[in-house]
């Protein structure tokens, strides 16, 4: 795929849009292998069609607020490799981890549709998703967001403080399950939970949320990256795939009702079955 470190800002936006699509990756590989110039241009035209569809969809969406635009720009231009080398980060980060306009607007609409007052986010990164959701919360609303990197807290808080909605956001720097245990002990419940963190932890987060009553009545859990660049459905014999295991866990749990939204890398919405299928 495209190397984000050597691209212009416009190209970075394009790369971010197509980052997760294995079909585009295969077409890019095919374009690099094709010798016939006419066929090569046709393949490149197909890739561009895919890009144009996402651009049209993005331009149709309500524009992000100036504060969110600043977070996205800061995320795409940050020198993440340097931060890791200088030990300001303990784990590698990359710009494609940001939620972005499309996912951010879906999260914002979900908060609005749920009339949510309390939101829990597992995996903050630079804060784009958190602020997107906070913008739809009422003035006395509360959003708790979890991450492991103190540098990201400093980076996100700088942007949050420039927004009138930033005061609704509380950042917790600790292993997410520890924070969730504290919230459960306090009797906290959340109308919306957004999970976009370490994929190996998804099953644990899902089970903890339901088993410890962190999800409020008629609440919704949203899981990002359930397509995981195609790995759940591109099956290789003998290969362990963490997201396939998680998706199967959701599908086989009799307590919940789920739907997969084919947005970017896939967003799964999960609700308790009794909140979707009423028994009259």
The model's pTM: 0.90
Q: Report CA-CA distances (Å) from 13 to 2, 20, 126, 187.
A: 11, 13, 16, 41
Mean pLDDT score, 268-275: 96
pLDDT computed for residue 118 by the predictor:
98
pLDDT band at 1 (very low <50, low <70, confident <90, very high): very low
Q: Are the beta carbons of 246 and 202 closer than 8 angstroms?
A: yes
SS3 sequence of the chain: CCCHHHCCHHHHHHHHHHCCCHHHHHHHHHHHHCCCHHHHHHHHHHHHHHHHHHHHHHHHCCCCCHHHHHHHHHHHHCCHHHHHHCCCCCCCCCHHHCCHHHHHHHHHHHHHHHCCCEEEEECCCCCHHHHHHHCCCCCCCEEEEEECCHHHHHHHHHHHCCCCCHHHEEEEECCHHHHHHHHHHCCCCEEEEEECCCHHHHHHHHHHHHHCCCEEEEEEEEEECCCHHHCCCCCCCCCCCHHHHHHHHHHCCCCEEEEEECCCCCEEEEEEHHHCCCCC
Q: Are the beta carbons of 2 and 11 closer than 8 angstroms?
A: yes
CATH number 3.40.50.150 is the correct assignment for the domain at 66-275: yes
Mean pLDDT score, 98-115: 94
Contacts of 212 (CB under 8 A, 6+ apart): 180, 181, 184
- Read off the tokens for 252: 């086989």
Domain parsing of the chain, residue ranges: 4-60, 66-275
Q: Are the beta carbons of 144 and 170 closer than 8 angstroms?
A: yes
pLDDT band at 280 (very low <50, low <70, confident <90, very high): low
- For 17-31, how does the pLDDT look when each residue is reduced to its tens digit (9 = 90+)? 566 788 888 888 898
Region for 16 from its dihedrals, namely left if φ exceeds 0, alpha if ψ lies in -120 to 50, beta otherwise: alpha
Query: Of 253, 246, 248, 245, whose CA–CA distance to 271 is shortest?
Result: 253
pLDDT computed for residue 19 by the predictor:
66
- For 201-224, how does the pLDDT look when each residue is reduced to its tens digit (9 = 90+)? 999 999 999 999 999 999 999 999
pLDDT at 3 > cutoff 60: no
Output Rg (C-alpha) for the chain, integer angstroms. Answer: 19
Mean pLDDT score, 79-91: 92
């Amino acid at each position: 795929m495209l190397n984000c470190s050597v691209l212009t800002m416009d190209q970075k936006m394009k790369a971010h849009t197509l980052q997760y699509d294995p079909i585009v990756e295969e077409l890019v590989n095919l374009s690099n292998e094709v010798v016939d110039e006419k066929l090569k241009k046709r393949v490149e035209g197909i890739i561009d069609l895919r890009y144009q569809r996402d651009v049209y969809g993005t331009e149709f969406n309500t524009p992000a607020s100036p504060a969110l635009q600043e977070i996205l720009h800061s995320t795409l231009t940050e020198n993440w490799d340097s931060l890791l080398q200088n030990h300001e980060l303990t784990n590698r980060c990359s710009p494609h981890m940001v939620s972005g306009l499309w996912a951010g607007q879906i999260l914002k609409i979900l908060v609005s549709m749920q009339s949510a007052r309390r939101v829990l986010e597992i995996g903050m990164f630079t804060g784009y998703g958190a602020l997107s959701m906070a913008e739809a919360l009422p003035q006395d609303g509360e959003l708790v967001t979890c991450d492991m990197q103190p540098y990201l807290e400093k980076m996100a808080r700088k942007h949050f403080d420039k927004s009138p909605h930033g005061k609704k956001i509380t950042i917790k720097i600790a292993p997410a399950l520890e924070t969730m245990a504290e919230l459960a002990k306090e009797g906290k419940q959340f109308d919306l939970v957004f999970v976009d963190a370490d994929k190996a932890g998804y099953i644990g987060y899902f089970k903890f949320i339901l088993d410890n009553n962190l999800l409020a009545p008629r609440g919704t859990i949203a899981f990002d990256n359930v397509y995981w660049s195609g790995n759940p459905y591109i099956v290789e014999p003998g290969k362990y795939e963490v997201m396939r295991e998680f998706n199967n866990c959701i599908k086989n749990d009799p307590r919940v009702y789920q739907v997969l939204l084919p947005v970017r890398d896939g967003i799964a919405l999960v609700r308790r079955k009794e909140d979707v299928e009423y028994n009259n």
